[in-house]
Amino acid sequence: MELLGAFLSLLLFFLAVVTGLPSRGSQTTRFVKANGTQFSLDGSKFTVVGANAYWLSLANLSEQDMEKVFSEISESGATTVRVWGHNEMPESQITPQTIYYQSWSGNKATINYGANGLRYFDRVVESAKRHNLRLIVVLMSYWNAADGKTGGVETYARQMLTTPVNHGGFFIDEGAKNVFKTYVKAVVGRYRDNPTVMSWELGHDMICMWVGGRKCPAGSLTAWTRELSSFIKSIDPNHLVASGDPGDYNKTDTDALEYSGWAGLDFEVNIVMDSIDYGTFSLSGIDPMRWIDDHVETATLAHKPLIFNKFGPEIYQEWLDKLVSAGVAGSFYWQFGSEDIRMNMPYWFYGDYVPRGSHTYRLLVDHAKAMKDRP
């Protein structure tokens, strides 16, 4: 039997050589990984650079228009796109053209696996793959349109929590957490083995300020981040996980809002969690040079990559140069738009279209190249 096993192993190796297929010992990992303060793919550096385009996964695009959008993103030098992997809507807001991933009837949520639900997101993933782009999939957002047509934390608050509407209850109420976990399990499990997804982010700009008219209890958002990131890791060991938060600090010796813990965030605590693979931060009211330096220092101490999740539509060369020279592992423009496509959705957002001949477009193309050219 030992001789037979050795013969079969040798045969498999020989077939791999003559056919060009990878042998079992040399198979690619296919999934983007965190490697110190940078990202890697199959043992080589992977540059994370691109744009937010949350509307892509909500816009009910035709196949032709979706291909057009991803083609234009790829042509800008992008490697990665940050998209929404959620849209939770009350049944009363749903139209025949609506893309939604959860429908709500009272306090009951139902996951939509149909053509205007997760099967549409399947198309987003496949189109990104055809254009050699990776996706960062954001599973929730703190913000939503005033008319409630783009989902988000407020949908959970309105459907499940007591009045007055309080976003902070989303992070504390066990019922809300369990419904969200059910949705997360369905989405993460669906794409667990798909390497086009680079990472899962718990949410966009998740903050916790008020619960029922009172200040959010200290540590609530931190505990939620730890619980949900660990939950995702228990389902999916393949993909990276991040919080997606704007990177605010919680320091006691400062009057600066973004460093004061006002939003229930603590970037220094979040980034060192075992279940968090990289840090995120966004452009704020703080001097961008200082903001970048402080986050790079924190990420370096944590020995984890750092992504500048959101800057724009106004940008400056010195910001981009700083991201490159400081070693920030990734950056995303807010946000990519496309002309001459049909948006079959009940709200207005088309992205911030940047004309090809514009100074801003040139800055973004040059920035993508500079990020890739770093050692």
- For the stretch 241-251, pLDDT in tens is 999 999 999 99
346-358 pLDDT tens trace: 444 555 778 888 9
Which residue reads 């004061």 in tokens?
Answer: 260
Whether the per-residue pLDDT at 34 is higher than 90: the answer is yes
Residue 27 clears pLDDT 70, i.e. is over it: no
| Calpha distance 100→116 (Å, rounded) | 6
pLDDT band with cut points at 50, 70 and 90 for residue 344: low
pLDDT, mean of residues 90-107? 92
The mean pLDDT of 190-204, rounded to a whole number, is 98
The more confidently predicted of residues 215 and 200 is 200
pLDDT tens column, 209-231: 888 778 888 899 999 999 999 99
Distances (CA, A) of 254 to 51, 257, 289, 297: 32, 8, 18, 18
- For position 214, what pLDDT does the model report? 80
pLDDT band at 20 (very low <50, low <70, confident <90, very high): very low
Q: What percent of the chain has pLDDT over 90?
A: 70
Give the position of tokens 């680079």. Answer: 198
Would the pLDDT of 15 be above 60?
no
Least confident of 32-46, 48-62, 122-136, 342-356: 342-356
- pTM (2 d.p.): 0.90
Residue 37: the pLDDT is 98
Q: What is the mean pLDDT of residues 306-333?
A: 95
pLDDT score at 29: 62
Structure confidence at residue 9 (pLDDT): 44
The whole-number pLDDT of residue 23 equals 32
Query: Which pLDDT band holds residue 163 (cuts at 50, 70, 90)?
Result: low
- Give CA–CA dist 215/208, Å, rounded: 8
Q: Do strands 197-201 and 240-242 pair parallel, antiparallel, or not at all (unpaired)?
A: parallel
The pLDDT of residue 235 is: 97
pLDDT in tens, 108-158: 999 999 999 999 999 999 999 999 999 999 999 998 755 556 689 989 988
Backbone CA torsion sign across 233, 171, 84, 289? negative
Whether the pLDDT of residue 45 is over 50: the answer is yes
* 58 pLDDT above the threshold of 80: yes
Q: Mean per-residue pLDDT for 270-297?
A: 96
User: Does position 313 have pLDDT exceeding 90, yes or no?
Assistant: no
Which of 60-69, 163-172, 328-337 shows the lowest mean pLDDT across its residues? 163-172
